[in-house]
Amino acid sequence: MTKPFDEGLSIEHERFEFLVNTPESKALRHVFFAEREAAKIPDVSEDTAVREIKRAAIVGAGTMGGGIAMALVNAGIPVTLIDTSREALERGFKAIEKNYAATVSKGRLTQRQMDTRINLIKPSIALDDAAEVDIVIEAVFERMDIEQDIFRTLDAIARRGAILATNTSTLDIDTIAAVTKRPQDVIGTHFFSPANVMRLLEVVRCAKTSQDVLATVMKLGKTIGKVPIVSGVCDGFIGNRMLEKYLQQARFLLDDGATPVQVDNALEGWALKMGPFAMVDMAGNDIFWEIRKRQYRERPDRVYSRLGDRICEQGGQKTGRGWYRYEAGNRKPIPDPEVEALIAEYRKEIGVSARAISDQEIVERGVYALVNEAAFILEEASRCAPRISMWCTSPATASRLGVGGRCSTRAVWACSRWSRRSIVSKMATRVISGSSRRSSIGWRARVRRSPTTTRRN
């Protein structure tokens, strides 16, 4: 349909006025400014000298290590991929080749580009091969004793001025740095799975991390196409600390009567790209299991659902089993009757009768858990920059970049509205009565105002 020019301009203006005030438009503006504010660190000037990063080493050829290696070589940075197990190294290298081949088959990469990137990766079983690189990123299994042993060795062999980084998602990096003679060179670089895809990079500033190391890693994050966010040291940092509460509520929902597919569908229908159980299967249930085992020891007074422990040995997408079944070569989750039977049996063990769970309850318990924990993070001043408090208090913004896949602009808008006001969230109260547990949805409002100063020394 053709309109006269002046009439067309009038229609265009009218539609623009409508669109600019939609939730999606507001969300996109929120994300735009949040991402740019996130790069500003109050006590690190923009002219801080940075170290050159021409070569890197990754210690650990697993899912995360391989993804980080891909992120670096995609930006043209040569990588030495190290694993003490030759079998693990070969398996990890083949996984990288397979991932690139899949990208080529989709037309997103040429065979020549794939070959160029593969040739930038040098597999090695010798940690000594990290001696001359500019940055070493450790990406091994999350155990403090293992990571401390690796950092002791790296401290002894890495050249002077090399940055020693860890991809840990929950461990105390100050404790890791303490075993070295150069804590000023130690920093956290927490990537999100899959590391070659997810844009969020948490740069964890330790007590003694030097300003130039922080500035260098922030610049590196941008170079490899990430959105680097500075965090202080706390259990789970920002994304995973919020994610823990979200996943905890997801498991409690199963205890109460929901199914994995119901929970995932409700949250995906609300606006998230991926539900919690499909996301955990993708990342690997074993990773979260190790974190939970540590938390059981450190926080025995807390209430936990043990359902995840029953599932963990099935491994997720990596083995074709998890909260769902997976067919070979297909990542689409298939509901598993055996898992549903296991959930029903677990309910009997803990004395909980299944009840009807609405989609609204699922969304509220999941999303409010994220928002509420974000408010606590601000309150405890885990953020380094007060000007980016809106980033931290928008769980959907973090989710959009790294926690459980990207989510829609509608979700970002909804959560950014909450973050601009006092954080008011409703958390499901878990009631413990004697030796048995009963679930009560007595909604409890918690109010946490964003502090005017969110500085952590």
Residue 395 has pLDDT above 70, yes or no: no
pLDDT of residue 74: 98
* DSSP for 123-169, written as a single string: EES-GGGGTT-SEEEE---S-HHHHHHHHHHHHHHSPTT-EEEE--S
| Angle at CA of residue 96, ends 405 and 89, nearest 5° | 120
What proportion of the chain, given as a percentage, has pLDDT over 70?
81
DSSP state of 429: P
Q: What is the mean pLDDT of residues 64-83?
A: 98
Residue 266 has pLDDT above 70, yes or no: yes
Residue 260 main-chain phi, psi, to 5 deg:
-55, -45
* Distance (Å, whole) CA 385 – CA 208: 17
Residue 424 has pLDDT above 60, yes or no: no
Residue 447 has pLDDT above 60, yes or no: no
pLDDT of residue 313: 62
* Nearest by Cα to 375 from 363, 386, 389: 389
* Distance (Å, whole) CA 94 – CA 96: 5
pLDDT of residue 396: 40
Give the pLDDT band (50/70/90) at residue 318: low
* Distance (Å, whole) CA 444 – CA 451: 22
Cβ neighbours for 199, distance < 8 A, ≥ 6 positions apart? 225, 226, 227, 401, 402
Flag the least confident range among 251-255, 304-308, 366-370, 384-388. Answer: 384-388
* DSSP for 81-120, written as a single string: EE-S-HHHHHHHHHHHHHHHHHHHHTTSS-HHHHHHHHHT
Give the pLDDT band (50/70/90) at residue 451: very low
DSSP state of 450: P
Instruction: Quote the pTM value.
Output: 0.77
Give the pLDDT band (50/70/90) at residue 456: very low
Flag the least confident range among 82-91, 253-262, 310-319. Answer: 310-319
pLDDT of residue 176: 98
pLDDT of residue 445: 34
270 C-beta neighbours (distance < 10 Å), count:
21
Give the pLDDT band (50/70/90) at residue 432: very low
pLDDT of residue 433: 25
* Distance (Å, whole) CA 188 – CA 167: 6
Give the pLDDT band (50/70/90) at residue 159: very high
Q: What is the mean pLDDT of residues 97-116?
A: 97
Residue 441 has pLDDT above 70, yes or no: no
Q: What is the mean pLDDT of residues 365-374?
A: 91
Flag the least confident range among 67-71, 120-124, 336-340. Answer: 336-340
Q: What is the mean pLDDT of residues 226-249?
A: 90
Buried b (16+ CB within 10 A) or exposed e, 381-400: bbbbbeebbbbbbbbbbbbb
pLDDT of residue 320: 55
pLDDT in tens, 162-201: 999 999 988 999 999 999 999 999 999 999 988 999 999 9
pLDDT of residue 247: 92
Q: What is the mean pLDDT of residues 363-389?
A: 73
Give the pLDDT band (50/70/90) at residue 431: very low
* Distance (Å, whole) CA 324 – CA 328: 13
Q: Note whether 209 and 457 are within 8 A (CB).
A: no
Q: Note whether 129 and 82 are within 8 A (CB).
A: yes
Alpha-carbon dihedral angle through residues 292, 71, 117, 87, given to the nearest 10 degrees: -10
* Nearest by Cα to 387 from 42, 26, 28, 30: 42
* Distance (Å, whole) CA 439 – CA 361: 13
Give the pLDDT band (50/70/90) at residue 401: low
Q: What is the mean pLDDT of residues 415-438?
A: 36
pLDDT of residue 281: 86
Average pLDDT, whole number, for the chain? 82
Q: Could you give all domains of the chain from N- to C-terminal order, each with its CATH number?
A: 23-38+237-457 (1.10.1040.50), 56-231 (3.40.50.720)
